[in-house]
């Protein structure tokens, strides 16, 4: 008797669950009235929290063009930390579209911005890189990418530290310096 009772309960439960599949389908989309769409999904504005009001600016990221010269490319970055955001965009490398146009980068993708500060007209950039990363001097093109992305075309000195060691940067004439200016690399800028 108990077995029959269990069997009846299982059959009833099975029929109840199978009723869920009795949804009519016609194989084509069905329009939904605007007033039935939930959560403001039809709103033309992106959902935002009430406390975040991020402003964006367009900054230049310096890549290497097909002629092996430095070329500015635009990136939209958060205004409150635009230099760090620009450097992060540089570390991400050229976009697929830029690669198709012949752009490249010599800056290692494994850099991360730790901090940026300025003192007496000089910009200091602290980066981190995984242990065992090369500490060789930055080539003139790599240094130019870092310095121009950091300071733009201003005439301010830039010093870059990677894992708390000053990055030696090669200038276009082959000399090496720890503190350089964007104007030191103007001979490498494509016109």
Divide the 191 residues of the chain into consecutive groups of 10 and give the mean pLDDT of each group: 77 70 65 72 59 80 95 91 90 94 92 90 89 73 93 87 89 93 92 75
Q: Residue ranges of the alpha helices (H) in the chain?
A: 2-18, 82-92, 96-100, 140-151
**In whole angstroms, what is the distance from residue 86 CA to residue 95 CA?**
14
Handedness of CA 100, 154, 75, 44 (dihedral sign): negative
Bridge partners of 165, per DSSP, are: 162
Bridge partners of 119, per DSSP, are: 122
**In whole angstroms, what is the distance from residue 168 CA to residue 159 CA?**
9
Bridge partners of 125, per DSSP, are: 116, 160
Q: What's the pLDDT score for residue 108?
A: 86
Contact by Cβ (8 Å): 151, 182? yes
Q: What's the pLDDT score for residue 146?
A: 93
Q: What's the pLDDT score for residue 179?
A: 93
Q: What's the pLDDT score for residue 45?
A: 58
**In whole angstroms, what is the distance from residue 88 CA to residue 84 CA?**
6
Q: What's the pLDDT score for residue 52?
A: 62
Q: What's the pLDDT score for residue 53?
A: 72
| Phi-psi map region of 123: left, alpha, beta (phi>0 left; psi -120 to 50 alpha) | beta
Q: What's the pLDDT score for residue 11?
A: 78
Q: What's the pLDDT score for residue 30?
A: 75
Q: What's the pLDDT score for residue 24?
A: 59
Contact by Cβ (8 Å): 173, 54? no
């Amino acid at each position: 008797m108990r077995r029959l009772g269990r069997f009846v309960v299982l059959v009833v439960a099975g029929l109840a669950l199978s009723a869920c599949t009795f949804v009519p389908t016609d194989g084509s989309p069905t329009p939904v009235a605007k007033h039935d769409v939930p959560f403001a999904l039809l709103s033309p504005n992106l959902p935002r929290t009430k406390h975040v009001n991020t402003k964006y600016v367009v900054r230049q990221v310096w890549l290497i063009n097909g002629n092996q010269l430095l070329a500015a490319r635009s990136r939209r970055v958060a205004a409150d930390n635009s230099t760090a955001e620009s450097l992060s965009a540089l570390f991400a490398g050229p976009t697929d579209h830029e690669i198709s146009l012949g752009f490249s980068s010599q800056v290692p993708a494994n850099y991360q911005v730790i901090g940026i500060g300025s003192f007496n007209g000089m910009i200091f950039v602290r980066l981190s890189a995984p242990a065992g990363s090369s500490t060789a001097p930055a080539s003139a093109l790599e240094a130019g990418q870092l310095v121009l992305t950091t300071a733009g075309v201003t005439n301010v000195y830039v010093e870059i530290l990677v894992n708390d060691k000053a990055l030696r940067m090669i200038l276009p004439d082959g000399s090496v310096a720890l503190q350089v200016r964007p104007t030191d690399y103007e001979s490498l800028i494509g016109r």
